[in-house]
Amino acid sequence: MSDFTKLSIEELNKNKNELIKRYNEFKSQKLELDMTRGKPCPEQLDLSMDLLQFADKDNYKTQNGVDCRNYGGVDGIPEAKNLFSQYLEVEPDEIIVGGNASLTFMHDTFMRAMIHGVDEDSVPWSKQPKLKFLCPSPGYDRHFSICEFMGIEMITIEMDENGPDMDIVENLVSEDESIKGIWCVPKYSNPSGITYSDEVIDRLSSMKTKASDFRIFCDNAYSAHHLTDTPDKLKNILEACKKAGNPDRVYIFGSTAKITFAGGGVSMMAGSKKNIDRAKKQLIIQSIGPDKINQLRHVCFFKDMDGVTNLMKKHAMILKPKFDAVQTILERELAGKNIVQWSNPKGGYFVSINTLDNCAKDIVKMASDAGVKLTPAGATYPYKNDPRDRNIRVAPSFPGLNDINKAMELFAICIQIVSINKLLK
């Protein structure tokens, strides 16, 4: 395939005319396709329907006899703590199993730090003169929304295939006391799909921070969400923090949102026993306890970690052909043209695309004008501002294969037209 950056003006115009013809054909079909949010598709949700048969009139007690229909147990039922502590690779006394959304845990952990500080000895974040947070990007838009909501200044940190640029991270945190933490999605990251290297985990855990109340918000949302038989391995960050003498540095979050039901699963928060004990004391003010019935259902449904692993294999069988379709079309339409790079993730929910600079917004608009909705350009950066206007997140989990094929072909056409326009300028 021809490298667009090496074509003459005539050749570029010829390509553009053909592409515009194809674009108009798509437009006349009046498509209504949505590639925006990383939601499980109905076939994935169907995999967990048996969950609903558990916790019935004969089965509503935990193994130690606690009645799940009643109040209590702010940190979750023991069997859920046992199962999900294995899932997050921590000890049962280092986890709280909560309600239906890990994002709530993240938001509330921020809020508690703002109002009460991260431990007894530290000043509440909101009483400190200036607050900043490191945001490896492209990243998860809802993390950035939490910072924005709390008035915390966000600093964009570039990512590579190993994780955030640690030279920059180390430099910044060693000098600036107002930097209170960093967001991380360490496995099959949203949206780049990368898994942090051991070295990045070690450096995050051991780096010197000017702020004594610095925290890593480690959102392990895609811990078991493999698309291949050779899953990425993530180094245990809580262990690494303990080893480095910073046991309280990390909060870990996770949920079954994309294992069982999105919005109807269970969430978890993990960390050092000290952090977890403090969170429990504060949580009890907010709630007398989580939905234990749903926790019991989940435990009965999974039985053990093998149950989780086997279910995730079934998810992968549904998702893999969709991710493959994205790769096939991007490869067919764009390989060798030197106008775009894209990820080929081994897990998670997204494909991340980097176009030529200053093209992403125009591409997303052009696709939308022809009936294909993509995540707004910029959404993967703090303040929705991608400084190079080049990153686009594609979420192939929800639409059917036919829709993905159509949407990706149109998307690839838009990428080419906008890139040619840019090259012609």
Residues in contact with ligand PLP by the rule CB under 6 A: 38, 101-103, 140, 185, 190, 219, 221, 255, 257, 262, 267
Say how far apart CA 111 and CA 248 lie, in whole Å. Answer: 17
Say how far apart CA 85 and CA 97 lie, in whole Å. Answer: 9
Pick between residue 190 and residue 295 the one whose CB is nearest to ligand PLP.
190
Beta bridge partners of 97: 268
How many helices and strands, by DSSP H and E, does the chain display? 13, 13
Minimum Å gap between C-beta 106 and ligand PLP is 8
Pick between residue 187 and residue 406 the one whose CB is nearest to ligand PLP.
187
Residue 250, helix vs strand vs coil: strand
What number of other Cβ atoms are within 10 A of residue 59's Cβ?
Answer: 12
Pick between residue 101 and residue 359 the one whose CB is nearest to ligand PLP.
101
Pick between residue 211 and residue 257 the one whose CB is nearest to ligand PLP.
257
Say how far apart CA 371 and CA 29 lie, in whole Å. Answer: 9
Pick between residue 283 and residue 420 the one whose CB is nearest to ligand PLP.
283
Tokens of 374: 């993509």
Pick between residue 103 and residue 329 the one whose CB is nearest to ligand PLP.
103
Minimum Å gap between C-beta 378 and ligand PLP is 17
Nearest to 77 by CA among 89, 60, 90: 60
For 305, phi then psi, to 5°, come to -65, -30
Minimum Å gap between C-beta 100 and ligand PLP is 7
Pick between residue 189 and residue 209 the one whose CB is nearest to ligand PLP.
189
Pick between residue 197 and residue 260 the one whose CB is nearest to ligand PLP.
260
Residue 268, helix vs strand vs coil: strand
Contact 207, 250 (CB under 8 A): no
Say how far apart CA 139 and CA 318 lie, in whole Å. Answer: 25
Minimum Å gap between C-beta 379 and ligand PLP is 12
Minimum Å gap between C-beta 54 and ligand PLP is 20
Minimum Å gap between C-beta 395 and ligand PLP is 9
Q: Which residues of 322-338 are buried (b: 16+ CB within 10 A; e: fewer)?
A: bbebbbebbeebbeebb
Minimum Å gap between C-beta 326 and ligand PLP is 17
Edge-first strand listing for the sheet containing 351-355: 340-342, 351-355, 391-394
CB nearest ligand PLP: which residue? 255
Minimum Å gap between C-beta 402 and ligand PLP is 24
N- to C-terminal Cα separation, the chain: 22
